[in-house]
Structure 1
Amino acid sequence: MRIPFNGARGMLLEPQARHAILIGAALGAICASFGLLIALSGPIIAFGALFGIAFALYALTNLHFGLYLMIAIIALLPFGTLPVRFALTPTFIDVALGAFLLVYLFEWMTRRRERFRFAPAQLLIAFFSGWCLFSFVAGLGHAALTTNVLRKFVEMLLSMLTAIVIVDVARDKPTLARIAFALSLFGALQAILGVLLYLLNDQTALTLLNALSRLGYPRGDVLRYVEDNPLLGERAIGTWVDPNAYGGFLLMFGTVALANALNSKPAIGGRILAWLIFAPYPLALLFTQSRGAWLAFGAAIFFLALWRYRWLLLIGALGLALLLSLPFMERYIERLVDGLQGEDLATQMRFGEFKDSLTLIGRYPLIGVGFAGTPDRDIYLGVSSTYLKIANSTGITGVALFSLILLETLRYGLVRWRQLRQAGLEALWLGFAAAVFGVAVNGVVDHYYFNLEFHAVSLAFWLIVGLALAAARATDRRAS
């Protein structure tokens, strides 16, 4: 039957017809784009992009899902970038963090969120962020600004902002428990991945790690060895590229997982599940051969034992003695002793960096030299210490503010210890606080917590700081 032109036009003007045409056109465009992506990048990248877009869209409608997605990316793909090339290709963390902060802002704009949750340390974090910005601008007088440095500096500021925001997001025990479980679970998956890659033969591990080059990871001989010498032993890296950064990550997430396992009532699931989740952390941490992370993890365990689990001191001492007596531990013990005595090359290089850093601080003590470069040719920004690195970039003022943030974060919870126990929040707070304490120790000999090149470590650290504050703040009845 022939339909007159006017009749066909009338049918097209019908709302249902227009909607059907738009939906059909959209589906056709999506299918065509997906087919093109398969042809250009392969099915793995294409399906990964499809699921990634689906997760991202859902994250824009659910703040907490966006937070869990960000934690998963921090743990599993810390250096991953979108498989497309722009002038500045965003990382997966950039997208997840941006979506999380955007949804949080929308909740305030739409009045779905009210009564901002405040903790004193948030002011210190804001002051520290402002001081970093001041030092950054002041340092541009002697160093040229590049888009890459600007982008990474903004990432660092947004990471600090996350610590302020998370206090307002994690307002109650169930929310804190779910976040702690997400940290523990995704960290455990990364620990398992690190152990498996370490145990595989080098060629197989290289093949798997080089496959990540499509997502912005380095390609080539990416495996790491002690002093870059394969004869001295491999170091576990997981998908974290650097073994010391990997160790710092395992320290933070592993401490949270341990506190959850020690709790008589774990955050989610039973104690067996909690211990299974924690189990891969110590092995992965051992395989990193990161001595700073080892000592810091021991300090975090001591913090847990000091405030609640005194029996850990005895059990830990017996377990350590048994572990050290095993034959395969000999090379790890030798490496630790060499580091403590300053006899190996890596430690001697650290001492040289410390000396040069103190020279820089002596010349520019108040505000440092910024983040883009140094004004003198005989000094440089690189140093293997978080505290000295902060002092290099922001002066003694900056490192004083950073130290105050750490102290205030711990003090804020300790003065509320009784309320934490009454609210059943002490185990959650202990996990976050012990992780902060571990970072405070590890920061003496590692710089990844304040390094523009390691956004994932920095973001994880500020997230943990915010969660420690949030757990203590949740004891306030007015927070409910």
Structure 2
Amino acid sequence: VIPGDWTVALLSRLRIFGYPTEGILRYIEDNPDNPMRAIATSIDPNALGGLLIVLTVIAVAYLFARPPLLPRPLMALIAGAMGVLLYLTYSRGSLVGAAAALGVMALLRYRKLLVYMLLLAALMVVLPQTQTYVTRFIEGVQGADLATQMRFGEYKDALLLITRYPVLGVGFSGAPDIDLYIGVSSLYLLIAEEMGLVGLGLYLLVSVVFFTFVFRVWRRLPPNHPLEGPLLGYSLAVFGAMVGGIFDHFFFNITFTHLVALYWLCMGLAVATAMMAQESGDSFGLP
């Protein structure tokens, strides 16, 4: 959207805050002949995609909530802008994460959302402007593109490291063996690398307890309860991040501390919202 020279000039001014000054512009497969990927100020387009999973899901939840957080036309504009920006990152994993979370939201509560999602999917398939994205998505599913093949190599190396240090992992400073390294495009494999299967098991246990608690509270909410939108938004933002985490690592990568903090903040907000709903449960029979 913004010319490349302008983007470089603007982002280079952030060098006083530690923003990189080389390789600022990002392209599909790092090939300047391919479309440029949106990065905003996130350095990495996939990191921006992870951020937009959370923001888009929350925005859509507030759009369909009754009453909405802001006037619906304004909320629709906000959610739509985030959706377009998510598309411009060309982050397939983030798109899958956001679509999964919004799909669950539609099935649980806002059925009209499912219609809008199907219409958007149909537009992406038929519009000439989106064919590059569609082709890239299909190649990713088939494992035919370079980025996906590199991921497969990362998965293989990660599994080798995990088999050598399965219980507690290797920590966060680095791999102890010269033929291994820490770093894989998967939240779950990264946790297993650094914290072992014990850490991964604890993470999954916390997630199961979290979703069980939130779902039990949501199921007992009366229709159009004012806390329903926030509860669905925050909890499904976490769900979307977990789905996106199958393909990316940013929500557990200490280099991207803002995304790690955002993930746990959303979980905390969901729990706080559920507890507020429980405190007002006298009117609708919450335990």
Tell me if both proteins adopt one fold, taking TM over 0.5 as the criterion.
Answer: yes
Structure 2: how far apart are the matches of 1:332 and 1:418? 37
Shift of 1:275: 1.4
What is the aligned partner in structure 2 of residue 240 from structure 1? 42
- Among 158, 163, 170, the alignment partner of 1:357 is 158
Structure 1: how far apart are the matches of 2:65 and 2:278? 22
Question: Secondary structure at 1:469's aligned position in 2?
Answer: helix
Shift of 1:468: 1.1
Structure-to-structure mapping, 1:1-80, within 5 angstroms:
none
**4+ residue runs over 6 A deviation:** none
Q: Is the 8 A contact 2:187 2:247 kept in 1?
A: yes
What is the aligned partner in structure 2 of residue 455 from structure 1? 257
Structure 2: how far apart are the matches of 1:434 and 1:248? 13
Q: Is the 8 A contact 1:254 1:278 kept in 2?
A: yes
Structure 2: how far apart are the matches of 1:408 and 1:389? 21
- Among 78, 81, 92, the alignment partner of 1:291 is 92
Q: Is the 8 A contact 2:66 2:226 kept in 1?
A: no
Structure 1: how far apart are the matches of 2:77 and 2:3? 26
What is the aligned partner in structure 2 of residue 263 from structure 1? 65
- Among 412, 415, 418, the alignment partner of 2:216 is 415
Structure 2: how far apart are the matches of 1:316 and 1:286? 14
Q: Is the 8 A contact 1:247 1:288 kept in 2?
A: yes
Please state if 1:336 is matched with 2:137: yes
Structure 2: how far apart are the matches of 1:365 and 1:348? 25
Structure 1: how far apart are the matches of 2:101 and 2:78? 18
Structure 2: how far apart are the matches of 1:323 and 1:229? 23
Structure-to-structure mapping, 1:91-130, within 5 angstroms:
none
Structure 1: how far apart are the matches of 2:200 and 2:242? 12
Unaligned runs of 5+ in 2: 283-287
Counterpart residue identity of residue 148, structure 2: T
Shift of 1:374: 1.2
Unaligned runs of 5+ in 1: 1-198
Please state if 1:254 is matched with 2:56: yes
Please state if 1:426 is matched with 2:232: no
What is the aligned partner in structure 2 of residue 158 from structure 1? none
Q: Is the 8 A contact 1:428 1:471 kept in 2?
A: yes
What is the aligned partner in structure 1 of residue 186 from structure 2? 385
Shift of 1:311: 2.9
Please state if 1:325 is matched with 2:126: yes
Q: Is the 8 A contact 1:251 1:438 kept in 2?
A: yes
> Identity of paired residues, percent?
42
Q: Is the 8 A contact 1:206 1:221 kept in 2?
A: no
What is the aligned partner in structure 1 of residue 148 from structure 2? 347
- Among 214, 217, 226, the alignment partner of 2:19 is 217
What is the aligned partner in structure 1 of residue 204 from structure 2? 403
Shift of 1:426: 1.1
Shift of 1:440: 1.3
Structure 2: how far apart are the matches of 1:477 and 1:419? 13
Structure 1: how far apart are the matches of 2:138 and 2:42? 26
Call closer, same or farther: CA 1:342–1:247 in 2, change over 3 Å: same
Q: How many residues align?
A: 281
Counterpart residue identity of residue 117, structure 2: G
Shift of 1:475: 1.5
Structure 1: how far apart are the matches of 2:222 and 2:9? 49
Shift of 1:396: 0.5
RMSD: 1.6
Counterpart residue identity of residue 308, structure 1: R
Counterpart residue identity of residue 6, structure 2: T
Call closer, same or farther: CA 1:369–1:442 in 2, change over 3 Å: same
Structure 1: how far apart are the matches of 2:22 and 2:194? 32
Shift of 1:479: 10
What is the aligned partner in structure 1 of residue 78 from structure 2? 277
User: TM-score, length-normalised on structure 1?
Assistant: 0.57
Structure 1: how far apart are the matches of 2:272 and 2:220? 13
Shift of 1:419: 4.0
Query: 234-243 vs 319-328, which deviates more?
Result: 319-328
Shift of 1:418: 4.1
Structure 1: how far apart are the matches of 2:14 and 2:193? 34
Question: Secondary structure at 1:416's aligned position in 2?
Answer: helix
Call closer, same or farther: CA 1:418–1:354 in 2, change over 3 Å: closer
Shift of 1:277: 1.9
Please state if 1:207 is matched with 2:18: no
Q: Is the 8 A contact 1:420 1:472 kept in 2?
A: no
Shift of 1:206: 0.5
Shift of 1:313: 2.2
Question: Deviation string for 1:76-129 (max 9, x for gaps)?
Answer: xxxxxxxxxxxxxxxxxxxxxxxxxxxxxxxxxxxxxxxxxxxxxxxxxxxxxx
Question: Deviation string for 1:61-87 (max 9, x for gaps)?
Answer: xxxxxxxxxxxxxxxxxxxxxxxxxxx
Structure 1: how far apart are the matches of 2:93 and 2:200? 20
Counterpart residue identity of residue 222, structure 1: I
Counterpart residue identity of residue 195, structure 2: T
Query: 467-476 vs 345-354, which deviates more?
Result: 467-476
What is the aligned partner in structure 2 of residue 310 from structure 1? 111
Question: Secondary structure at 1:400's aligned position in 2?
Answer: helix
